[in-house]
Structure 1
Amino acid sequence: MKVRCIIIDDEFPARELLQSFITKFAHLELVGSFKSPLEAMAVLQNDDIDLMFLDIQMPDITGIDFLKTLTKKPLVVFTTAYEEYAVEGYKLDVLDYLVKPFSFERFMHTINKVGDRLSYKHVVNDFQALSPKEETKNFMMVKADHKIYRVKFKDILYIEGLREYVTFFCTNEKIVSLESLRNLEQQLEKHGFMRVHKSYIVNIERIVAFYGNQLKLDNVQKYIPIGKSFKEVVNKRLVNS
Structure 2
Amino acid sequence: MTINCVIIDDEFPARTLLKGYIARIPNMELIGSYKSPLEAVPLLQAGEADLVFLDIQMPEMSGMEFLKAFQLKNTMVVITSAYSQYALEGYQLDVIDYLLKPFDFERFVQTIQKAGNRLFKEAVTGKSKFPDSSHQSFLVIKADHKTYRVRLEDILFIESLREYVAFHCVNQKLVSLDSLKNLTENLPSDRFMRVHKSFIVNRDQVKALYGNQLQLHISEKVVPIGQSYREEVKKRLFGL
TM-score scaled to structure 2, two decimals? 0.57
Following superposition, the deviation at residue 196 of structure 1 comes to 0.7
Task: State the shift of 1:2 in Å.
Answer: 7.0
Specify the code of the residue in structure 2 equivalent to 1:121. Answer: L
Q: Determine the structure 2 residue equivalent to 1:151.
A: 150
Query: Aligned pair count?
Result: 175
Retained in 2: the 8 A contact 1:4–1:50?
A: no
**In the TM superposition, what is the alpha-carbon distance from 1:232 to its structure 2 partner?**
2.6
- 1:43 maps to what in 2? 90
- Tell me the C-alpha RMSD between the 2 structures: 4.3
Residues 80-159 of structure 1 mapped to structure 2, 5 A cutoff: 97-98=106-107, 114=112, 121=119, 125-126=123-124, 133-135=131-133, 136-159=135-158
Secondary structure of residue in 2 paired with 1:137: coil
Structure 1 residue 189: Cα displacement: 4.0
**Is the deviation greater in 132-141 or in 191-200?**
132-141
Name stretches of at least 5 consecutive residues in structure 1 with no aligned partner. 6-17, 56-77, 81-95, 99-106
TM-score relative to the length of structure 1:
0.56
2:166 corresponding residue in structure 1: 167
Q: After the TM superposition, which residues 18-97 of structure 1 pair with which residues of structure 2 at under 5 Å, given as runs?
A: 21=14, 25-26=33-34, 28-30=53-55, 31=64, 33=81, 35=84, 40-41=87-88, 43-44=90-91, 46-53=92-99, 79=103, 97=106
Deviations 1:54-99 (A, max 9, x none): 69xxxxxxxxxxxxxxxxxxxxxx947xxxxxxxxxxxxxxx515x
1:167, 1:201 → 2: CA distance? 10
Contact 2:130/2:186, CA 8 A, preserved across alignment: no
Q: Secondary structure at the match of 2:187?
A: helix
More helix by percentage: 1
Which structure has more relative contact order (CA 8 Å, sep 6+)? It is 2
Give the gaps of 5 or more residues in structure 2: 19-32, 35-51, 56-63, 65-78
Q: Distance in 1 between matches of 2:96 and 2:130?
A: 27
1:222-241 residue CA offsets vs partner (Å, 9 max, x unmatched): 31100122223222322449
What is the aligned-residue identity percentage? 36
- Write the distance in 2 (CA, Å) between the matches of 1:2 and 1:154: 32
